[in-house]
Amino acid sequence: MNGTLRDNVILITGSSIGIGRATALRFSEEGSRIVITYHRDEEEAWEAAEECQRRGARGTMVLRLDLRDDVNIRKAVADTVGEMGHIDVLVNNAGVIERKPVEEQTFEDIEQQLRINLEGTIKMTRTCLPHLRKMVINVVSLTAHRGYPDLGVYAASKGGMISFSRTLAEEIGPRKVYNVFPGATATRMTGFHGDPPEKVAESIVLLARGEYLVPNGGDVKIGSPPAMRSGSMVQAEMAR
């Protein structure tokens, strides 16, 4: 699949700020229709939608979504489908982190990270699937693959997302599911230290455009992306 994203409906969780917002803006440049969700940052969400329109989005929607709330998940998906008709790409981006050794994590810290990052991703995906045409992209983390102090619970939530997607890939073909692994990225989550979120957004859009050679259920590490398809639009653009 190597194609245009024009008029595609892209639902990105947690897209009022950070990586989600940068991703919404980058999809807008492809002429996609963008569904922005916010949890607390309503003002930023509307600002992001306006910027999406300026960058070429062919339609935008702004929805409140709390991934801890089952009713809210169902309503957000129903509202999206009611207005947009279907979903082409779901980007499971929303996430939270509590940096503490396991011994200091409260039960509430543990519940929040697992509920939002893992359970929220699974419930959101499950609710979107009957309306999903092309793919799911999960924003996971390198912490899932090796130990980093203070990130055990967060890493477990991200590791669960990877396990989930490996099975999902076996179930939803010809539709796809991929995992994207950002390095440290300059957002609120890191105190704005790291690479610009636009770097992650670019890889997500190339993945959605079908430019990367990556198997269904596979991984894309930001900074060392997979090979590009021969004849890909990006290679053609670089050759010009």
Ligand X SMILES: NC(=O)c1ccc[n+]([C@@H]2O[C@H](COP(=O)([O-])OP(=O)(O)OC[C@H]3O[C@@H](n4cnc5c(N)ncnc54)[C@H](OP(=O)(O)O)[C@@H]3O)[C@@H](O)[C@H]2O)c1
Site string for ligand X, 174-193 (x = CB under 6 A): --------x-xx-xxxx---
Stretch that binds ligand X, among 52-60, 88-96, 101-109, 203-211 (CB under 6 A): 88-96
Closest CA to 210 of 227, 222, 224, 198: 227
The position carrying tokens 């993945």 is 207
95/65 Cα distance (integer angstroms): 12
| Interactions with ligand X, residue window 112-131 (CB under 6 A) | 116
Neighbours of 107 (CB within 10 A): 7
Stretch that binds ligand X, among 2-10, 52-60, 91-99, 225-233 (CB under 6 A): 91-99
Cβ closest to ligand X, residue 197 vs residue 232: 197
The position carrying tokens 């963008």 is 34
152/236 Cα distance (integer angstroms): 42
Cβ closest to ligand X, residue 8 vs residue 117: 117
CA angle in degrees (0–180, nearest 5) for 105-41-74: 80
Cβ partners under 8 Å of residue 151, min gap 6: 97, 99, 143
Closest contact distance (angstroms) between CB of 17 and ligand X is 5
Strand partners, 12: 36, 91
Closest CA to 65 of 141, 127, 22: 127
179/219 Cα distance (integer angstroms): 5
Among 11, 14, 63, 135, the residue binding ligand X under the rule CB under 6 A is 14
| Interactions with ligand X, residue window 22-81 (CB under 6 A) | 38-41, 65-68
Site string for ligand X, 141-170 (x = CB under 6 A): x-----------------------------
Cβ closest to ligand X, residue 24 vs residue 232: 24
Binding-site size for ligand X (CB under 6 A) equals 30
Closest contact distance (angstroms) between CB of 72 and ligand X is 8
Binding residues (CB under 6 A) for ligand X: these are 13-14, 16-20, 38-41, 65-68, 93-96, 116, 139, 141, 182, 184-185, 187-190, 194
